[in-house]
């Protein structure tokens, strides 16, 4: 039974989304392939980001570069960990059945990763610029402690920018009883407010601020930094420097390709308040662009591996060391059990022969063999 009695308490764009059930059959037809793809991508993303965190956190010597990559991987792990719940939303027929609080938390993780990715890539680019242009200052002041403090500031700024998305996210029931996890801009509004103007203002503010702060400004910082440093790096020709430069360029290009469609359609969604003809296209494209943005967190670990041969070797060494330790523990336990069992048999034989019996030469040889069991 359609439930549209409470439409008046929402913004105009939400009212239209609540009443729009025309795409339900096409959404469900697309569901199986999308759900399977999301399930595979999310599982792979979680495993590879855990592997990156483990290798960088425990198997690589701590450095400024490893601090940057460690924080990027932590941000990506957060995003990929939330992806299975988005997959569940798709599997349920584009309806959110996990409650309002988790709707807020899940959406906040997406936006936290969005801000963290932009801020961290800008910081990495500035760091490369300082290393090239101010090498003496960097040698005296650039260390792991400073990088860690910078990362704390970046996480704090990203969390602060995520707060509005947590506050305005809500669960909204459509007329066909499916549940959206979306913005409710009429929350926290004074009773006498012009709701239509307030909804437009808040939606425009969020769309423009996230485009500027998490995408355009970091991109300008990145372009400016590498424009200043490219000539310096080319002159040095240091292999490790060039290798990390190649990694950063690959991560930045992937970031732009994955996030640009999302920000484009997010801005078009805000424009759709003034031009309703854009809304059907945005309604179809925005979920797909959000999935592409999630894909950025899955691709980054692959870039770390394939852009840095040393990193791939470190992963192999780490996995080999773990397997070797496990095998050594198992073989050691097997040898101890063998030794205990054979010693028990030897003691029983001596007791049966009595206290006055003397071992024959063959018995001595056998005892010596028991005392030194072979370990293979």
Q: Quick one: pLDDT at residue 120?
A: 92
Q: Quick one: pLDDT at residue 314?
A: 61
Question: Residue 332 CB: number of other CB atoms within 10 A?
Answer: 11
Residues of the chain under the 70 pLDDT cut: 1-3, 5-6, 20-31, 233-234, 236-244, 305-376
Six-digit token string for 177: 């009883």
Q: How far is CA 266 from the centre of its chain?
A: 21
Give the separation between CA 244 and CA 9, rounded to whole angstroms. Answer: 52
Six-digit token string for 75: 């941000």
DSSP 9: G
Q: What confidence tens digit (pLDDT) does each residue in 151-180 have?
A: 999 999 999 999 999 999 999 988 888 899
Q: Quick one: pLDDT at residue 355?
A: 52
Half-sphere exposure of 6 (CA within 13 A, CB side): 6
Q: In sequence order, which ranges of the chain are alpha helices (DSSP H)?
A: 12-19, 24-54, 64-91, 100-133, 135-141, 144-168, 195-211, 217-236, 239-271, 279-307, 309-353, 361-371
Q: For helices 100-133 and 239-271, give the axis angle rounded to 10 degrees.
A: 140
DSSP string, 52-79: HHHIIIIIS---HHHHHHHHHHHHHHHH
Q: Sketch out the chain's domains with CATH numbers.
A: 8-307 (1.20.1070.10), 323-371 (no CATH)
Q: What is each CA distance from 253 to 223, 247, 248, 292, 349, in whole angstroms? A: 11, 10, 9, 14, 75
Q: Quick one: pLDDT at residue 261?
A: 94
| Ramachandran angles phi, psi of 170, nearest 5° | -155, 165
Six-digit token string for 129: 């610029």
DSSP 143: S
Where does residue 89 fall: left (phi above 0), alpha (psi -120 to 50 degrees), or beta otherwise?
Answer: alpha
Q: Quick one: pLDDT at residue 371?
A: 35
Q: Quick one: pLDDT at residue 366?
A: 41
């Amino acid at each position: 039974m359609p439930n549209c009695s409470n439409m008046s308490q929402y913004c105009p764009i939400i009212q239209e989304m609540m009443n729009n059930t025309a795409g339900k059959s096409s959404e469900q037809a697309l569901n199986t392939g999308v759900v399977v793809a999301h399930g595979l991508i999310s599982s792979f993303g979680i495993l590879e980001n855990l592997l990156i965190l483990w290798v960088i956190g425990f198997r690589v010597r701590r450095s400024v570069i490893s601090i940057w990559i460690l924080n990027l991987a932590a941000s990506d792990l957060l995003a990929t960990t939330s992806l299975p719940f988005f997959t569940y939303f798709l599997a349920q027929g584009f309806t959110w059945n996990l409650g309002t609080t988790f709707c807020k938390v899940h959406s906040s993780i997406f936006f936290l990763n969005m801000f963290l990715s932009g801020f961290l890539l800008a910081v990495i680019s500035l760091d490369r610029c300082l290393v090239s242009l101010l090498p003496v200052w960097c040698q005296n002041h650039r260390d792991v402690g400073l990088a860690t403090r910078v990362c704390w500031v970046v996480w704090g700024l990203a969390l602060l920018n995520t707060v509005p998305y947590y506050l305005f996210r809500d669960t909204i029931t459509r007329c066909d009883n499916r549940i959206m996890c979306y913005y409710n801009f009429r929350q926290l509004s004074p009773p006498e407010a012009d709701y239509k103007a307030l909804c437009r203002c808040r939606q425009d503010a969020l769309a423009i601020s996230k485009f500027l702060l998490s995408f355009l400004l970091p991109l300008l910082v990145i372009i400016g930094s590498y424009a200043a440093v490219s000539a310096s790096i080319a002159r040095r020709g240091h292999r490790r420097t060039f290798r990390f430069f190649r990694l950063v360029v690959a991560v930045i290009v992937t970031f732009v390709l994955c996030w640009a469609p999302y920000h484009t359609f997010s801005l078009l969604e805000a424009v759709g308040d003034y031009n309703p003809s854009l809304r059907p296209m945005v309604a179809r494209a925005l979920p797909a662009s959000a999935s592409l943005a999630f894909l950025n967190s899955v691709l980054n670990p692959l870039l770390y591996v394939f852009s840095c041969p040393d990193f791939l070797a470190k992963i192999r060494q780490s996995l080999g060391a773990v397997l070797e330790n496990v095998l050594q523990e198992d073989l050691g336990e097997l040898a101890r059990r063998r030794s205990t069992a054979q010693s028990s048999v030897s003691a029983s034989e001596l007791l049966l022969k009595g206290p006055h019996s003397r071992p024959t030469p063959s018995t001595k040889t056998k005892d010596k063999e028991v005392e030194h069991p072979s370990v293979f």
